Structures are given as C-alpha cells and as structure tokens.
Amino acid sequence: MKAKIRKIVTFVEETRSEMGKAVTPPTRRAAAAAVVENPFAGKYVEDLAELMEIGEELGTLLTERAVAALGIPGPSAESYGKAAAVGENGELEHAAAILHPKLGTPVRKVLGTGAALIPSSKKRGGPGMPIDIPLGHKDAAFVRSHFDGMEIRVNDAPRANEILVAIAVTDSGRPLPRVGGLTKEQIKGEDGLR
Amino acid sequence: MPEVRVRKRAIIIEEIFHEGGPPAEKPLRRGAALVVIDNPFAGKYVPEIASFMEDLKPLGLDMAKSLVAALGGHPKAIEGYGKGAIVGQHGELEHGALWHVPGGYAMREILGGAKAIVASTKKVGSLGTRLDVPITHINASYVRSHFDAMEVGINDAPRADEILLALVMTTGPRIHARVGGLKASEIKGEDGLR
C-alpha cells in the first residue's frame, strides 16, 4: 500500500426518533476515516500522482469499512459522500488529489452502482477539527430525501503532516423527510441526476 | 418508573496502527457505544431518581454487547474500559451519576466478571460537547500501560432534555506504551487494583 496509515476510525449513527416521533426503520449512516501521512507536507510539489494513488487505495478500504460497519451488502447503500482535511503543512490541492481523480471508481465498485457524483468537501485544519461530509443519493443526485451531511472528527488528527480522509455511506435518507422533491422510488437512473 | 426513550445510537471504533513509532503487531482498537436518551428528570428538581438506574440496566447490556460485537465479537479481547455521561443543560450532574451502576454492571456482566472499578467521568453540556472518557485495565486499575482515554461526542446531542450515555472499551495498551509501572502480565487479580 502506498498510503501510510496511522489510524482508521469508523462511526455509525442510528436515529430512532426525532421530536418524539419514531423513525421506522431507524436511519443509519456510517463513516470510515483514515489518517494518512502527507508525503508532500511542507513543500510545493507539482506532480500529485502519489496522492491520487493513495485516494484510489482509500476508496476501496474506507468504503468496505463503512459498509461493513452498517452490516449491509454494498449495493444496499443508498447515499454517499467524501471529505478530506489536510493538516497545517499541506495544501488544499492535496485533498483534491486524494478525493477527485481516482477515489470514486473503487467506491462505486464496492457499492455496485453509483451513477451520481459523489458529493465532497475539503478543508485545512488541526487535530480535532470537525469535518462535514456531504451526502447525496448514489444513483440520482436529485433525490431530495437523501440530501444530508454527517459530521465527524478525530481528536488527534490531522496532525500537521497528515491528511484525514473520510467516506460516508448510508442505508437511508434523512430521518423524517417531508420537503418533497424527487423520491427514491421515482429514480430513472439514466444520468445520475434523476 | 420512567421509560427509557432512545433517540439515537452511535458506535465509534478507532484502530490505531502507530503514533510515530514502530507499527504494533496488533493494532490497538478503541471503541465507544453512545446512546442519546430523554432525561426524565429534566427541568425540575426531583428528589427520588435512583430507581431509574434499574430501568437503564437493559440498555447498558445492549450497549455493552453492541460494543463488543463492533470490536470483533470476543469479550476476551477486551482489556480496558471506561464510561461516562453528558447531561443536557436542563438536567443536573446527578442525573449523569445514574449511569455508574447500570453502565458498570453491564460491562462486567458482558466481559465475564471484570474486577477493576470502571473509570468514569461526567458533565453537563450541550450539542457537540466532547467528553474524554477515562480508561483503565478491566482487572487491575494500576496497570500503567492501559491508562488511556477516548474522546467521544455527537454533534447533535445532548439536547437540553437529553442525556448522552457512553461506554468505552479498548483491546490493549497504549500503542507505544513505555513508561513502566505494573504490567498486564503481572496482575494478581485479587482486589481489582493490582
């Protein structure tokens, strides 16, 4: 493995009621996050190919971990998202190199499908900084019930020369969706949008 | 007897490979089971609260079982533990103290009669409040390599009328433990201390 991983953290959240109203079945989200060494910390490097390969490795590893944490087969996942936080000696472009060129294909391989763009966010910061992973339906980005986000944080990461990379997967949308829009039953599945 | 009403559950698993030193043969795993419940005593002073401890026992057992499962399913693999509570702002610290008996009892039961007192902490807080849950060896509090802690929290809990309950377990010593003291291999196991 190219990625030098210090730590992997998984998070599972299960919401069973909101405002006293039962959520049936409960909605569940999982995120898997890896803390990796940033090979380019502290200097400007033109060619970011190594980080792209790290992204490809993490796409498989973290998606498998997140799905396993939910205890479901990959194709049962409904929405997904990704995010990276670069420690203070790195640049935002390092997060972009991990997230955008090669990470998506292995994510979709683990999940079976994934026509929709994987929503993403990135930032720079220090240990303990919360990151909000945006979530969207994996086959149709416009499914409104699945517009969501999941906050995670790892108290001792990212250190200055590290990058925190996270992938979130759900088996459901928001707990009590009722603002209309495209529903998952209406997905046509042709363009990843509707 | 007040009913135990669960809004949300979360499981967090950290897998630590190294912290700058040589990667351990067996990565350290730290896990937390978190549950957000209604605080039946929120907003008023209630003199008699102790009976709620009995009501919390099934929940404690369920959390301890889920946590062992998330850490690999083998109670014998668990070497450290701790517990804690965050009480929402309409509650009092004493409500957090209700967790001592059911939380501790649950872990001892599931881990097959662990001997050491379960390290604990608690506070009043709000949404996103973090709690550093102390951790000690399950059979001998003085085992120095197992003095540890895990930071936990949930971004949308506890609401003012809620309590966040936490159980924490670890599968080994700190990843690069090397400050001496009583070793796990030297435990006498008579008094829960040494």
Q: In B, what residues contact A, Cβ < 8 A?
A: 5-19, 70, 128, 130, 151, 154-155
DSSP chain B: -----EEEEEEEEEEE--SSSPPPSS-EEEEEEEEEEE-TTTTS--S--TTHHHHHHHHHHHHHHHHHHHTTS-GGG--EEEEEEEE-TTS-HHHHHTTHHHHHHHHHHHTTS--SPPEEEEEE--TT--EEEEEEESS-TTBGGG-EEEEE-BTTB--TTEEEEEEEEESSS-TT--S-SB-GGG---SSS--
The pair of three-digit structure tokens given for residue B107, joined into one six-digit string: 């872990």
Q: Could you give the domains of chain A?
A: 5-186 (3.30.1330.110)
- Residue B189: what pLDDT? 87
List the domain range (segments joined by +) for residue B45.
6-186
Domain containing B142 — which CATH number?
Answer: 3.30.1330.110
- Residue B1: what pLDDT? 57
- Closest B-chain CA to A159: B19
Whether residue B167 lies inside any domain: the answer is yes
pTM of the full structure: 0.89
- Closest A-chain CA to B24: A6
State how many domains chain B has.
1
Whether residue B191 lies inside any domain: the answer is no
Whether B146 and B170 have beta carbons less than 8 Å apart is answered as yes
Going by pLDDT thresholds of 50, 70 and 90, the confidence category of residue A189 is confident
Per-chain mean pLDDT for chain A: 96
Pairing mode, strands B28-38 and A21-37:
unpaired
Whether residue B1 lies inside any domain: the answer is no
The pair of three-digit structure tokens given for residue B172, joined into one six-digit string: 């080994």
Please indicate whether, in this complex, the C-beta atoms of A11 and B10 are within 8 angstroms of each other. yes
Residues of B in contact with A154 (CB under 8 A): 14
Q: What is the mean pLDDT of residues B187-193?
A: 89
Whether residue B194 lies inside any domain: the answer is no
Whether residue B141 lies inside any domain: the answer is yes
The pair of three-digit structure tokens given for residue B128, joined into one six-digit string: 């996103």
For residue B11, pLDDT beyond 70: yes
Whether B14 and B171 have beta carbons less than 8 Å apart is answered as no
> What number of C-beta contacts closer than 8 Å exist between A and B?
55
What does the pLDDT look like over A142-158, one tens digit per residue?
999 999 999 999 999 99
For residue A110, pLDDT beyond 70: yes
Which residue would you say has higher pLDDT here, B191 or B55?
B55
For residue B179, pLDDT beyond 80: yes
Residue of A130, A187, A122, A189 whose CA lies nearest to A154:
A130
What does the pLDDT look like over B32-86, one tens digit per residue?
999 999 999 999 999 999 999 999 999 999 999 999 999 999 999 999 999 999 9
Whether residue B193 lies inside any domain: the answer is no
DSSP A35-80: EEE-TTTTS--S--HHHHHHHHHHHHHHHHHHHHHHTS-GGG--EE
The pair of three-digit structure tokens given for residue A55, joined into one six-digit string: 């992204």
- Residue B113: what pLDDT? 84
Instruction: Classify burial at A178, counting beta carbons within 10 Å of its beta carbon; exposed 0-12, middle 13-18, buried 19 or more.
Output: exposed
- Interface with B, mutate which of A4, A11, A29, A151 (most B CBs under 10 A): A11
Spatial CB neighbours of B155, under 8 Å, sequence gap ≥ 6: A130, A151, B127, B128
Residue of B39, B15, B169 whose CA lies nearest to B96:
B39
Identify which of A9, A13, A151 has the shortest CB distance to residue B14. Answer: A9
Q: Measured between alpha carbons, how far is B108 from B100 in angstroms, rounded to an integer?
A: 12
DSSP 8-state code for residue A6: E
Per-chain mean pLDDT for chain B: 95
Dihedrals φ, ψ of B150, to 5°?
-135, 130
The pair of three-digit structure tokens given for residue A105, joined into one six-digit string: 């294909």
Going by pLDDT thresholds of 50, 70 and 90, the confidence category of residue A134 is very high
Q: Measured between alpha carbons, how far is A32 from A95 in angstroms, rounded to an integer?
A: 16
Whether residue B154 lies inside any domain: the answer is yes
For residue B190, pLDDT beyond 90: no
The pair of three-digit structure tokens given for residue B4, joined into one six-digit string: 């135990």
Q: Dmax over Cα atoms in chain B, in whole Å?
A: 54
DSSP 8-state code for residue A127: T
Residues of B in contact with A155 (CB under 8 A): 130, 151
Whether A145 and A183 have beta carbons less than 8 Å apart is answered as yes
What does the pLDDT look like over B88-145, one tens digit per residue?
999 999 999 999 999 999 999 999 989 999 999 999 999 999 999 999 999 999 999 9
Identify which of A9, A15, A69 has the shortest CB distance to residue B8. Answer: A15
- Interface with A, mutate which of B17, B36, B67, B129 (most A CBs under 10 A): B17
Q: What is the mean pLDDT of residues B157-161?
A: 98
Whether residue B192 lies inside any domain: the answer is no
Residue of A37, A44, A115, A45 whose CA lies nearest to A75:
A115
Going by pLDDT thresholds of 50, 70 and 90, the confidence category of residue A106 is very high
Please indicate whether, in this complex, the C-beta atoms of B154 and A13 are within 8 angstroms of each other. yes
Q: What is the mean pLDDT of residues A16-31?
A: 95
What does the pLDDT look like over A49-82, one tens digit per residue?
999 999 999 999 999 999 999 999 999 999 999 9
Smallest CA–CA distance, residue A19 to chain B, in Å, is 9
